[in-house]
Amino acid sequence: MSVIRIAIAGCGSVSWHYLNDLKTSKHARVVAVCDVKEARARERAEQFGVPQVYTDVEHLLSQCEFDMLINLTSMQQHYPINLQALQAGKHVLCEKPFATTLEEGRTLIETARQHGVYLWGAPTVVTSPAFQCMAKLLAAKAVGDVYVARAWYGHGGPGWGPWFYRKGGGCLFDLGVYNITTLTGLLGPAESVTALMGTAIKERFVEGQHVKVEADDNTIVLMDHGNSVFSCVMTGFVYGPYHEERTIELVGTKGSINMLGWDWHPKGVEVWDTEAGAWKVVCEDQKGYNWNQGGSYLARCLATGEKPLMTAEHAFHVLEVMLAAQKSAETGERVAVHSRFLAPWLEK
């Protein structure tokens, strides 16, 4: 059985979740961890029995033999590290977003193509049983034609990582990306975007320091998917506790399809049963799906030849939507989105 050798760049809190999942995979073996803070990298290596520790990505790429890099560094470091790894002939899975400009995104996709390797960007929401269930219900027109959808995900803001609040960070890139990935996956690519975006809390106290907030912490994105199909995403770092029922709603001409729980941690799907005239909950078994399973999922795909449901083109489209939202918020105008992607989950 083929086993994919994995190296992880970035050993912050997110790495614990990835490593905890990867240790259960029969298709993956983590051979190295890398972090600019050596003590942090060594701690993760000791926790999970990883044999090699690095503090420099260039040394990792030149000295360690592995197949796939999982990039868990700060958003602002995603592009340069991804590019180095692709140029070295490594498959790459990057936490969202995989780049912060369209030029960077195009360069990464072209570099992956030139070197015959794969590039993927989190989130992994299209791989969840709940997403697959909703996609099938939509295709079967279980609630008629769906023209309206809304989604929301927010919290009070990260208490770690000052970079979340600096230029290149923000709630849209960190949180809204989940719902945008889900809704474009279900309703199809966005053709244009209109958005409101602001910084409500001007200063944060993070990791013992006062941080002047440069990025958005309160954002609403309207997407036009064509044919009068519209969706709305609300996200922010200004949300107190609220109910997590029905965090995504697809409203059709004969009923609705609702995701129960978050798209990164779904609990089932609620659908209006037209014949019974009542709500019905389906797909409660998520088969262990969680947001941190991208590494083990893609290792399985690489090892077995299974076609991944995640694609670089979808991640690029989501990036373009988010950048279009930023431009719309700045100008007050609707902004066109030009990229498109194919949906593997719709293939028969």
32-57 tens-digit pLDDT = 999 999 999 999 999 999 999 999 99
Res 348 pLDDT > 80: no
293-318: average pLDDT: 97
CA atoms within 13 A on the CB side of 45: 19
Confidence of residue 160 (pLDDT cuts 50, 70, 90): confident
210-214: average pLDDT: 94
All structural domains of the chain? 4-121 (3.40.50.720), 126-287+309-346 (3.30.360.10)
pLDDT reported for residue 275: 83
CA atoms within 13 A on the CB side of 311: 13
Buried b (16+ CB within 10 A) or exposed e, 62-101: eebebbbbbbbbbbebbbebbbbbbebebbbbbbbbbbbe
pLDDT reported for residue 1: 55
pTM: 0.95
